[in-house]
Structure formats: C-alpha cells, structure tokens
A and B are shown apart, each in its own frame.
Chain A
Amino acid sequence: MNKVLAVIALSAITMACENQPQTADLVRFMAVQTQYDQSDINSTENIFKTYSTFIIRNDTIGYVSSSPNSDTILVDGINIDVPNGYVTPVVNLIKLKLSEAGFDQVSDSDNPDFAVNVAVLQNFSFFQTINYPGYYSGYYGYYNYYYPIVTTYYANYATLVIEIVDVKNFAANNNKYKVIWKASIGDLISTVDLRGKTLEAIEQAFQQSPYIKKN
C-alpha cells in the first residue's frame, strides 16, 4: 500500500512541477522597449521637429560584450553570418524609417542634427540596459558605451540597441552628446529567425514612437 501511495504522490508532484513556459513559445516575439528624453519630448515640445538630418554607419553595427578581447563591430560575412545578411538589412530599415519620418541622411562633414548608433550588447539583461548614463563624449556611442549599472549578469543574452543622439545641441548640452531616444530589442540569441524577428521588432520600435517625425 505504501508503494501505491508513493507512486500517486510522486505523480501528483510531477504534475505540479511543470512550471515554466516553453522557450519556443517565449521567443515568438522579441521584446521591444523604447524610451525618450522627457525634457525634449513632451506635451509642449518635440525636439524631432527641429531636426532635419542624421548620420548612421552604413555597414557596421557596434558590438559590446563582457567577454574579453571581443570584436567591437559586427560586419556581415566577417563576424556575423546570417542568410541574406544582418547588419545591412538592419541599418537599411532604420534609414528607411527615418526617411519616412522626414529626415535626410547626410555625411559626417555635413553637420548632422542627430546621429544614430546601432549596437549589440551582449551578456546582460535587456531590461537592465536602461540605467547607463544618457550622455556621451562622442556621438558614435558604441565607442563610448558604459556598462549598465546592474546587479545580475546573464549569460547568452543579447540586445540590439538603437540610439538617437543629439548633435545639434552639443554646445547647449555642456559639450556632451545627449541620448534623445533609445530602443532596446531582444533577445537576439534565442530567436529562431534573427533577421526576420529583428526587422519586425525595429518596425515595432518606430511604430510605438510616433513622435519621431519632422512634421
């Protein structure tokens, strides 16, 4: 009788222990978080109305990892190998969304109003990226990234971060480049369709940021 009891008890406990969602279900959509600087975008003003031009690196994405001696940029076919590319489609879609919003891409020497930084941050949680300082000493931010202030590091998580950095008001901001907008998209590692899901998430980031428009 005790054996019967043990079997039934074990069965009941086993049923109770099925206690987490399946990974395949969890990663069906990437999480997309966008943040804007509330002193520049609010009910009375929108700094994007004052912008016309931007710069963005065309063929590289920054790469920041806690692993020592890791690369600092990602280049299609060199250190990232995704069918039909990853860096170029990502950059092209961002350029397209900004163009649709009324902004023109210019070169570095044309005094752009804002810069767009795109980087992959690896080995810390998406939600925890929100705490790092919002100013840079250089506007190509991915040479200047600070690690976020976090208490827990996770292995094998990667987040795509897109930032819009104010260049036009550099002097007014005490000679610092202020981050106006940031999108965090993740996780890049666990997805089964890195390129497709990233592009889908970038679309979502701009869709949920309707204030990014010139007019």
Chain B
Amino acid sequence: MRLKAIVILFLSAQSLLAQIAEGAFHVTWTTLKPTYTDFVSKTSSRGVRIGYTKFINEKFGVGIEGGYSVLDDYVPLQTYEIPGGAFTTDVYNYMYYYSLTANGHYYIKTSELFMPYAGLIMGAGFTDYTIFYNVYSDSDTNASFLVRPEIGMMYRFSRYSGFGLKAAIGFDYATNKSNQFELSNFSGVSLQIGIVLISH
C-alpha cells in the first residue's frame, strides 16, 4: 500500500513536470545599449538573434542561439597627436558583434499563456572593431567569452498554439578587449522582441 502511494506520488510529480512542448524556435529583433561606451555609445537596433530551445520538462529548457548586432558611433573631426606627428580626421567607429551561445531557461510559470522565464546564456562572442576614416579603415577582431543573464517571457496565443511572441531583456558581458584600440571588455543591455514557433 505504501509502495503504491509512493508510485502514485512519483507519477503525479512527473506529470506536473511534463514538458510544455517539444521545443521553440525564436527569431528576435535585438536592440543593444552599450554600458561600456569607449568605442561605441549609441543604442543600436540593428541586431538579430536566432535560436532554438528544447524543453526538458515543465520548468526547464536548454538551447542554442546565434546573434549579430552592429553598433556605431561618430567622432567629429579632430587632430590626434601621435609619436613624431599628428593625424587629423573624423572617424566612424563600428563594432560588429557576433555571438554563438548555449542557453538555459527556467520557466517560472507555464500554465498560463504568458510564460515568464529567467535564463543564463553563455558562449563565444566574436567582435570586429573597425574604424572608418575617409576611405580607409583599420580593424581588430577577437574571440571572447560571453555571458548574458536574461529575463523574459514567451506568449502563446493559445495553450496549444504553435506560434507565439517573445520579449527579453539581458545584460551582455564579453571579454573582448582590444589592445589595438585600447578597449576594455564590452558590456551592454539588450532588449529582444520577436516571434516563437513552438513545436508540440
């Protein structure tokens, strides 16, 4: 009798943790506001992230994501003193920021159409710092470690809808310092808005 009760309890717990769906594919439009502003300081909405999350159970999901953002800034005409001379130009700073990450999501609530979650995203960041001046350019590229704590939510149009929306806000930190341009690690706040395709 006691064993039967335990088995029933275990099965009940498993059904409570039954996965939401098979997985979710997302495409989000990404806005990135740098908090480290030595190279680029303007908020940029030229970004996209594409990823897939597999739901392990009712509460957890893991997946992968690729992202791309372009940030830029303009430095008006000025003269720079250099060893043995000077250099006058205006400069366009461009930061091309690619990411390839693994993500883990904890879904706080899944019974409603709104599914808020907290997530931790980690992986590789690839950065191309380029300065454009007149028709010339100089670049420095590097690979780095990237971490992004994130909170967000998915919204399903119905309980078993295959289509939904996603919004998330995160804090990006990448160890992509540039010795050539004397830059430290990059950090910024990212906002994602996009769509989710849910497979059941």
List chain A positions with a Cβ less than 8 A from chain B.
1-2, 4-5, 8-9, 12-13, 15-21, 23, 25-38, 125-127, 157, 186-187, 189-190, 204, 208-209
Contacts and interface: CB of A to CB of B under 8 A. Distances in A.
A32 B163 CA distance: 56
Contact of A18 (B27, B46, B79): B46
Contacts of B162: 1
Contacts of A37: 84
Contacts of A29: 77, 88-90, 134
Given A19-B94, A208-B79, A125 B136 contact: yes
B132 A20 contact: yes
A93 B165 CA distance: 64
Contact of B134 (A4, A13, A20, A30): A30
B36 interface: no
Interface of B: 25, 27-29, 45-48, 50, 68-70, 72, 77, 79, 83-90, 92, 94, 96, 132-136, 138, 162-163, 194-195, 197
Given A31-B87, A34-B85, A16 B47 contact: yes
B72 A16 contact: no
B163 A1 contact: yes
Contact of B86 (A13, A127, A186, A208): A208
B12 to A, nearest CB: 34
Contacts of A209: 86
B197 A127 contact: no
Contacts of A1: 162-163, 197
A16 B48 contact: yes
Given A1-B197, A157-B135, A33 B70 contact: no
Contact of B46 (A19, A26, A38): A19
5 contacts: A15-B45, A17-B46, A23-B135, A29-B77, A187-B134
Contacts of A2: 197
A53 to B, nearest CB: 24
A4 B196 CA distance: 11
B162 to A, nearest CB: 7
Nearest to A28: B90
Nearest to B93: A21
Given A1-B162, A127-B138, A21 B132 contact: yes
B199 to A, nearest CB: 11
Contact of A15 (B29, B72, B85): B29
B94 A15 contact: no
